[in-house]
Amino acid sequence: MHSALSIAGSDPTGGAGLQADLQVFRHFGVHAAAVPTALTIQDGSHVQRVLPVFPSVVLEQLRTTLSAVRPHAIKIGMLASDDVVRNVLLALAPLDPAVPVVIDPVLASSDGTPLLEKRAYGSLRDLAHGRRLLTPNWPEMEILVSADLPRKRDAEAAARELLDELVLDALLLKGGHREDDADDLFVTREGAGGGASVCEWLPGERLPGPPVHGTGCALSAAIAALLARGEGLREAVLSARAYVRRGIEQAHALANGARVLDFA
Ligand code: PLP
């Protein structure tokens, strides 16, 4: 059986983070392994506290899990602290470069609570270096490139630059936070040898209703699961987007009203 590993923060509501990733992995029929990087106290709408796991424990968990499971793909989500990021980087150093790593650069929750300390931004870039895919949303992208990206062509230029700078195979810039449309920008390289970057706008549609918790987590987990199964990157991105779209259409509300994706 194929297996995928999530390295992410715990969301006890089950709507986002590690708990969401595990459900997504199972939906796609891959064995679901998980290493928590942080505990959160949250109700699906507001994050009250973030408690990073001891960095040395993250390192030990990862070393043992990687050798026990040998995942076919890895998804990295919330990392909370600089020390955690550095230890994830250390643990992944011996990883076979053929294993695809999808990084969702989680910086803050939708209510604005920081989910990664600012001094970790440099280490996050180190961690992203040379990986298969980075999936920032628009605000995260603006922070990563230290620039406002008001127009689509600004985003294209910034994405190409970041792709080259971090030697990424691809970047998926999620447009859900934009005002005029919700298109995503997929930037990848021409040919297998890592040629010039190519931009493609994937049409997105903003679905009616209040926000749904955990969509970014589910998207990156779905891409990782599909890559673990051996799908190509573009196909994985397209199928994962369709899956999240269905999950939003069929979202249900928790007892407190917070809306979560349908993972089935
Ligand atoms: N909690 C955890 C553990 C997460 O990883 C994330 C997002 O990545 C969130 C909360 C934020 O979810 P939302 O953006 O829906 O608030």
Q: Are 77 and 223 in contact (CB under 8 A)?
A: no
236-240 own/partner pairs: CB under 8 Å, 24+ apart: 237/133, 237/170, 237/172, 237/186, 237/202, 238/202
- Going residue by residue through the chain (264 aa), what tens digit of pLDDT does each one get? 999 999 999 999 999 999 999 999 999 999 999 999 999 999 999 999 999 999 999 999 999 999 999 999 999 999 999 999 999 999 999 999 999 999 999 999 999 999 999 999 999 999 999 999 999 999 999 999 999 999 999 999 999 999 999 999 999 999 988 888 899 999 999 876 678 899 999 999 888 888 999 999 999 999 999 999 999 999 999 999 999 999 999 999 999 999 999 999
Domain count, the chain: 1
* Ligand 1 centroid to residue 216 C-alpha, Å: 8
* Ligand 1 centroid to residue 195 C-alpha, Å: 34
Q: Containing domain of residue 66, as a range?
A: 3-260
Query: Does residue 8 have its Cβ closer than 6 Å to ligand 1?
Result: yes
Could you give the strand order of the β-sheet that contains 252-253, starting from the edge strand earlier in sequence? Answer: 212-213, 259-260, 252-253
The single residue listed with the structure tokens 């190519």 is: 198
Query: Does residue 17 have its Cβ closer than 6 Å to ligand 1?
Result: yes
* Ligand 1 centroid to residue 17 C-alpha, Å: 6
Q: Which atom of ligand 1 is nearest to the CA of 8?
A: 5
* Ligand 1 centroid to residue 217 C-alpha, Å: 7
The dihedral region occupied by 181, where left means phi > 0, alpha psi between -120 and 50, and beta the remainder, is: beta
Query: Does residue 217 have its Cβ closer than 6 Å to ligand 1?
Result: yes
Q: Are 78 and 107 in contact (CB under 8 A)?
A: no
pLDDT of residue 70: 98
**What CATH number does residue 164 fall under?**
3.40.1190.20
Is the overall model pTM greater than 0.95, yes or no? yes
For residue 62, which amino acid is it? L
pLDDT of residue 193: 67
141 three-state secondary structure: helix
Nearest CA to ligand 1 atom 4: 17
* Ligand 1 centroid to residue 193 C-alpha, Å: 35
